[in-house]
Amino acid sequence: MDEAVNNENTKFSSIKKNPKALLKLVNTYVRVQLIKDCAYVGFVHSIDPVTNSIILSVPHDNGHQTIIVPGHAVLDITQEELMDHIKPPQKKENHADTPEEILKRKEKLISWFKTNLLPVTEIDDKIIIGNVTLLKPYKITDISADNPIVAMQIRNVIDTMPKNFQPK
């Protein structure tokens, strides 16, 4: 199977059940041939091993366009030679918050919720606002609630907090 990935022309049906072969395609420049005589050329960002759907970063103007190709539509994958003028997409650096930044954000949010007259309690590393829980590192994506409408309202409260808000 490894030879199939290194081969210029790779029949997708022969490698789609092989996770190692699929993993070797990540970050390579490929042509994905689809049903109905359609094809995309770009960098493989990732492949879903269950559905075999492919996320491609296709060079577009001065950047890249992300395209999701459903696995059932893929006929085969051909590794392409990378031209000098085509640059791979740049990975965004993941900034990890320091414990001090997380604690400061937690205190700031608790104060903001109290300013907005919301019932706030603190249990361990969690901020509890009624039936909504805000988990560490206390960002909008860390809201946990059974009711999506209430979660959205808490998100809106967080969004309206001024950048220069100082906890009391």
Percent of the chain topping pLDDT 90? 54
pLDDT in the model for residue 4: 42
pLDDT in the model for residue 2: 46
pLDDT in the model for residue 64: 86
pLDDT per residue as tens digits for the range 58-110: 988 888 899 999 989 999 998 888 888 888 887 766 678 899 999 999 999 99
DSSP state at residue 73 = G
pLDDT in the model for residue 93: 65
pLDDT per residue as tens digits for the range 111-158: 999 999 999 999 999 999 999 999 999 998 899 999 999 999 999 999
Report whether pLDDT(41) > 50.
Answer: yes
In this prediction the pTM is 0.52
C-alpha–C-alpha distance, residues 117 and 143, integer Å: 18
pLDDT in the model for residue 96: 80
User: Residues 59, 86: contact at Cβ < 8 Å?
Assistant: yes
pLDDT in the model for residue 31: 94
Query: For residue 165, what are the β-bridge partners?
Result: none
Phi and psi angles of residue 95, each rounded to the nearest 5 degrees, phi first: -90, 115
DSSP labels for 81-127?
PPPTT--PPPPPP-PPPPHHHHHHHHHHHHHHHHHTT--EEEETTEE
pLDDT in the model for residue 105: 94
User: Residues 144, 133: contact at Cβ < 8 Å?
Assistant: yes
Report whether pLDDT(16) > 70.
Answer: yes
